[in-house]
Amino acid sequence: MSAESGKVAARLADLKVVGLPVSMLRGVIMTALAEAVAKDDTCQVAGERLLFDPNRLLTKNGLTGNTNLTALRCEPGQLVIEAARA
């Protein structure tokens, strides 16, 4: 997981389905994700990444704001979100 241009980017990494490595199913999974989020302008699939736009989600829910997202770090049991000052 990372921050890219103010968006949260998640990459499908280590996953096994019925004992098979995800590399064999990666295309199918990413296509299914792309279809699932096609009508949602807060999420999109770009290559092997799922991108989520928290600023767009705020706007979509009638809120005004900018997250100024700069970095994300996954640590045991937590997600650390870093943002810049406006």
Ranges of each domain in the chain: 2-83
Q: What dihedral do alpha carbons 54, 2, 37, 43 form, nearest 10°?
A: 30
Three-point CA angle 71, 69, 8, nearest 5°:
75
Q: Among residues 61, 62, 58, 67, which one has the least CA distance to residue 86?
A: 67
State the pTM of this model: 0.73
Contact assessment for residue 51 and residue 45, using Cβ atoms and an 8 Å cutoff: yes
pLDDT attached to residue 53: 92
On the question of pLDDT at 20 being above 70, the answer is no
Residues above pLDDT 90, as percent of the chain:
29
Contact assessment for residue 46 and residue 52, using Cβ atoms and an 8 Å cutoff: no
Task: Name the pLDDT band for 62 (thresholds 50, 70, 90).
Answer: very high
Instruction: Say which residue, 84 or 15, is predicted with more confidence.
Output: 84
Task: Name the pLDDT band for 22 (thresholds 50, 70, 90).
Answer: low
